[in-house]
Structures are given as structure tokens and as C-alpha cells.
Amino acid sequence: MSAEQVTTRRETGVAGVSALDRLGYRLQRLPLHLVIIIFCAVWIVPTIGMSINSFRSVSDMGQAGWWTTLFPPHGFSLASYQQVLNIEGVVPSIVNSVLITVPATVIQLAIATMGAYAFAWMNFRGKNLFFIVIVGLMVVPIQMTLIPVLQFFKVVGLNGTIVAVWLAHSGYGLPFEVFLLRNYLGGLPREIFESAEVDGAGHAVRFLRIAVPMTIPAIASLTIFVFLGVWNDLLVALTYLGTSPNRPFTVVITQLVTSLGGGWQFLTAAAVLQMALPLAVFIFLQRYFVRGITSGSVKG
């Protein structure tokens, strides 16, 4: 037996064992992959199924489940979308959702940034107490405020207007935003503000020229968060707008679900339209979205 043969045998031997090892390792990890795949399926299939159903006619939906469209004849149709968009009040309600969400987001973030600056860079009597109240308000259920605020809106004649919803959303969102932005602003380097002060810059300049530009990353994450929160809101709009023509899309969908009882299936189209914006935001702005969530909760 030559030396050459021995080495080759040994090499193949080693290779054989490691391949077997690798196979064993793979097999060992198979349950892990299976569990993950099951979780992913449970979390993703319902949305896919409902979205597929929205592209089928209502009579098809009543005869067979969404999975039958995976095989020909697919039988896709836009009938549900036509039906939903033709219901009186649906198209205006989508416009209302935009008209409610954009100003409500701008108003509360503008006010919150200014308030957060005061809490981060100024000293005043009662500051800690005020801020503890704000921390406490972050968890107060808005249910505690609905009745007096509703009565207030009725007295001042704002009940049923979009201005009422802007104001209410702004009030409800402020504690969390002030808290988060104050932590962010407070983390900025003190030297920058001090040297600006030495150069004679007043608080207005320090706030507008230094604080706000440096806080843009935090404001951007918050904007996404607040925007989606208001877009997806049901309770606030339901309480202050109810059946008013100014009510947003979520309220109209809900009222259709409860009033239709039986033939609600075509509302799949409405649900897809309603969630299209949040999903697009999530997919395209994922990094900001997740950053917003983690920074808000881990510190809070």
C-alpha cells in the first residue's frame, strides 16, 4: 500500500465524516426551521387570503375559499372595489382620512417639539412635577377623557367637525411625544447650546437653528408613528364624528360591517384600500418604523 493511497483514504474519510456531521447538524436544526415557517405562515396567510378574496366576486367568495384561486380558472374580478367605491360616503371618507391625519400629525408634533425643548433645556419651578404628570398621562386610557371632551366640543360647536378630531388627537398624542423628544433633545451635546449662547443666540435661534435640525431623525420616526396611529384610529373618530359626513374611512368601514350583517364580504376591498397606506409606509420606511418603536418602548 503506497503512502499516496493512505493519504487519499484518510482525506476522503475526514470529508465523509464532516459531510455526515453537516447533515446531522442540518437535521437537528430542521425542527427550528419548521417552527419558524409555521409561525410565519400563521402571521402572513390571513392577510394574503383576505387580499386575494378582495379580487374575487362576492358570489365566488361564498362558494369556495380564497385558496381555490391559486389554481386556474382564477376568476379574478374588481367587482368588490367597484361596489365599495360606489357606496355613498366611501370616497369622501378616504379624503377625510387624509384631511384628518395630515393636520393632526403636523399640529401635535409642532407643539410637542416646542414643549420638549422647554423640558430639556430650561429650568423652572415645578418642572419635575409637570414632567411626572406627563409620564403618567402616557398610560391614561383616552376613555377617561371622552365624555368631558365630547361635552366641551358640543358647547363650543366643534362636535362633528374635523377640527375637533385634530385637537383631540393632538391632546392625546402630546404626552408620549413630549416625553420622547425631551429625552432626545436632552441627549444633545450641551456645548453646542452653550457656545451658541456665548455667541449671543437667543432661545428662539437655538431652538430653530440647532435643536430642531438636530432632532429631525427623532421627529421623522415619530411622524411615521403618529401618522399611522391617526390613520388607523377608530375610537376617537367614532366618538367625536359618529355619523357626521366628516367621518374617516375606518369609521365608515366599521359602520358598514355592523350594519350589513350578512353580505359584508365585498368589504375586503375596503380593508385592502385602508391598509395599503400603512403597509406601504412600513415596507418603504421600515428602518425608521422599527427604530421608532424600539426607542419609544425600551426607554419608556
Partner 1 sequence: MGNQIITAVIAVIAVPLALLGYIIVGEQIIERLSDTLQKWIRPYFWALPAVGFATVFMVYPLLRTVVISFRNNDDTDWIGLANYKYFFTFPDTLTSLRNSLLWLVFYTSISVFLGLVIAILLDRVRYESLAKIAIFLPVPISAVAASIIWKFMFDYQPPGTPQTGTLNALLGSFGQQPVAWLVNSTTNNAALIFVGIWTITGFCMVIISASLKAISTEVLEAARIDGANEFRIVQLIVTPLLWPTITVVGTTMIINALKTFDIVYVMTNGAYDTDVIATQMFSQLEHNHYSRAAAVGVVLFLAIVPLLIVNIRRFQQQEEQR
Using CB under 8 A as the binding rule, whether residue 241 contacts partner 1 is answered as no
The smaller minimum CB distance to partner 1, of residues 16 and 136, is found at 136
User: Least distance (Å) from partner 1 to the CB of residue 24?
Assistant: 16
User: Least distance (Å) from partner 1 to the CB of residue 22?
Assistant: 15
User: Least distance (Å) from partner 1 to the CB of residue 16?
Assistant: 26
The smaller minimum CB distance to partner 1, of residues 2 and 189, is found at 189
Give the residue, chosen from 58, 81, 89, 282, that forms a contact with partner 1 under the rule CB under 8 A: 282
The smaller minimum CB distance to partner 1, of residues 5 and 73, is found at 73
Residues 201-230 contacting partner 1, CB under 8 A: 202-204, 207-208, 228
Give the residue, chosen from 159, 175, 218, 240, that forms a contact with partner 1 under the rule CB under 8 A: 175
Using CB under 8 A as the binding rule, whether residue 243 contacts partner 1 is answered as no
Q: For residue 88, is it left (φ>0), alpha (ψ between -120 and 50) or beta?
A: beta
Please tell me the distance from the alpha carbon of residue 121 to that of residue 199, in angstroms, as a whole number: 17
User: Least distance (Å) from partner 1 to the CB of residue 4?
Assistant: 38
Using CB under 8 A as the binding rule, whether residue 234 contacts partner 1 is answered as yes
Please tell me the distance from the alpha carbon of residue 270 to that of residue 238, in angstroms, as a whole number: 18
Asked if 79 contacts 58 with a C-beta cutoff of 8 angstroms, the reply is yes
Residues 128-167 contacting partner 1, CB under 8 A: 130, 132-152, 162-163, 166-167
User: Least distance (Å) from partner 1 to the CB of residue 20?
Assistant: 21
Whether residue 31 is preceded by a cis peptide bond, meaning omega within 30 degrees of 0, is: no
The smaller minimum CB distance to partner 1, of residues 16 and 186, is found at 186
Using CB under 8 A as the binding rule, whether residue 281 contacts partner 1 is answered as yes
Using CB under 8 A as the binding rule, whether residue 284 contacts partner 1 is answered as no
Residues 24-63 contacting partner 1, CB under 8 A: 32-33, 35-36, 39-40, 42-47, 49-50, 53, 61-63
Residues 69-88 contacting partner 1, CB under 8 A: none
Which segment (4-12, 18-26, 76-84, 107-115) binds partner 1 by CB under 8 A?
107-115
The smaller minimum CB distance to partner 1, of residues 3 and 144, is found at 144
Query: Among 263, 242, 233, which Cα is nearest to 87's?
Result: 263
Which segment (17-25, 80-88, 190-198, 200-208) binds partner 1 by CB under 8 A?
200-208
Query: Among 88, 89, 14, 71, which Cα is nearest to 247's?
Result: 89
Greatest Cα-to-Cα distance within the chain, rounded to the nearest angstrom: 105
Opening angle at CA 179, ends 139 and 240, nearest 5: 50
Please tell me the distance from the alpha carbon of residue 114 to that of residue 122, in angstroms, as a whole number: 12
Contact code string over 112-131 relative to partner 1, x by CB under 8 A: x-xxxxxx--xxx--x--x-
